[in-house]
């Protein structure tokens, strides 16, 4: 695959904002009521349990084992999203074997950000209509002006789009390749199983580290609810903060930005302007000082032959991309 090749399910975008396609409303199906309820539960229950965890920590009941479980589960499920759902399945930045594809799909599913095919379809639609009508989670479209419009846009991009039902892109249009992939389809169909496994793992790890049931339960609190809350909002910040604050190295036709302080919590995803300039690049931190743990993992797997055909961006292509685009000539009357 060439570095600029887009996933086949997402139609190519024009470099001119004027000629960019509009998303037909029919391609955003109304989610069932059960999905809306599940979204509310997944968002609000971890928030409430974070309060319990804070009270526990304040009371001196937080132990090093809980922090180990939190760090390990955050890293595993976070890489499932960033390396698996995003760079592998959405943008096909590298290739790997069926077992590793299954592992990344399972780890991403355990992050509880939705089934893999739904996640990929939504993200491909975001890239097709980025910060234009049709983008599922732009902070800049139809939110009004002034500070109220800015806050409304940031809220929508962060979590509002999930609650409002704008989350579902047409899987047949945007993820047809994954629907035909038996490995990915199996993990997608068994999503609930991997959610439960993602909760059983911190409990079992806490039980093993402490030898007590209470230790298993507190590890479940920190490696389950707290991890879920932190990882969700790190991911959501890419949609909201990284389209509003930060620096723009490349003149993309959207508002994507690089937000350096968010790079480590998002495992390298916060170099978002870089990503929108080169969507298929396996590395989002294009400069040596731009920390990108997800790219480090891909590079390490490549060294031992577990991944291949990794998409890399040459310095010459970066330089060409930094040049301002010429204005499109006016259309004839």
Tokens of 260: 């350096």
- pLDDT tens for each residue of 178-232: 999 999 999 999 999 999 999 999 999 999 999 999 999 999 999 999 999 999 9
Long-range contacts of 124-128 (CB under 8 A, 24+ apart): 124/7, 124/9, 124/10, 124/90, 124/169, 124/174, 124/175, 125/10, 125/23, 125/27, 125/169, 125/174, 126/239, 127/6, 127/10, 127/13, 127/276, 127/279, 128/10, 128/11, 128/13, 128/21, 128/23
Residues 77 and 188: their CA atoms lie apart, in Å, by: 15
Task: Give phi and psi for 95, each to the nearest 5.
Answer: -120, 155
pLDDT of residue 20: 47
Report percent pLDDT > 90 for the chain: 72
Indicate if the pLDDT at residue 4 is higher than 60.
Answer: no
- pLDDT tens for each residue of 134-153: 999 999 998 888 899 999 99
pLDDT of residue 1: 45
- The answer to the question of residue 200 being in a domain is yes
Q: How many domains does the chain have?
A: 1
| pTM of the shown model | 0.86
pLDDT of residue 26: 39
- The answer to the question of residue 2 being in a domain is no
Indicate if the pLDDT at residue 15 is higher than 50.
Answer: no
Long-range contacts of 100-103 (CB under 8 A, 24+ apart): 100/301, 100/306, 100/307, 101/181, 101/183, 101/184, 102/183, 102/186, 102/187
- pLDDT tens for each residue of 55-82: 777 777 789 999 999 999 999 999 999 9
Indicate if the pLDDT at residue 19 is higher than 50.
Answer: no
The domain containing residue 59 runs over which residues?
26-313
- The answer to the question of residue 8 being in a domain is no
Contact 164, 39 (CB under 8 A): no
- The answer to the question of residue 323 being in a domain is no
- The answer to the question of residue 318 being in a domain is no
């Amino acid at each position: 695959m060439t570095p600029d090749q887009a996933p086949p399910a997402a139609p190519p975008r024009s470099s001119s904002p004027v000629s960019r396609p509009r998303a037909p409303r029919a391609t955003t199906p109304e989610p069932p009521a059960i999905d809306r309820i599940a979204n509310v539960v997944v968002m609000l229950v971890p928030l409430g349990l974070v309060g319990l965890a804070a009270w526990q920590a304040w009371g001196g009941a937080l132990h090093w084992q809980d922090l180990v479980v939190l760090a390990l589960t955050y890293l595993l499920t976070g890489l499932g999203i960033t390396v698996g759902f995003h760079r592998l399945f959405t943008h096909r930045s590298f290739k790997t074997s069926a077992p590793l594809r299954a592992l990344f799909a399972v780890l991403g599913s355990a992050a509880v950000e939705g089934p893999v095919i739904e996640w990929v379809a939504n993200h491909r639609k975001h890239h097709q209509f980025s910060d234009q009508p049709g983008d599922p989670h732009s902070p800049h479209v139809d939110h009004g002006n002034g500070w109220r419009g800015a806050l409304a846009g940031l809220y929508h991009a962060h979590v509002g789009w999930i609650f409002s039902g704008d989350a579902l892109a047409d899987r047949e249009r945007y993820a047809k390749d994954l629907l035909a992939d038996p490995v990915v389809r199996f993990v997608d169909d068994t999503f609930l199983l991997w959610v439960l496994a993602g909760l059983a793992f911190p409990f079992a790890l806490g039980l093993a580290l402490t030898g007590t049931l209470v230790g298993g339960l507190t590890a479940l609190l920190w490696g389950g609810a707290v991890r879920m809350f932190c990882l969700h909002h790190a991911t959501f910040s890419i949609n909201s903060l990284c389209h509003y604050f930060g620096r723009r190295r490349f003149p993309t036709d959207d508002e994507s930005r690089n937000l350096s302080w968010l790079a480590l919590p998002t495992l390298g995803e916060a170099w978002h302007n870089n990503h929108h300039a080169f969507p298929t690049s396996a590395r989002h931190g294009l400069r040596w000082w731009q920390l990108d743990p997800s790219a480090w993992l891909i590079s390490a797997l490549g060294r031992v032959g577990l991944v291949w055909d990794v998409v890399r961006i040459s310095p010459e292509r970066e330089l060409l991309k930094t040049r301002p685009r010429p204005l499109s000539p006016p259309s004839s009357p």
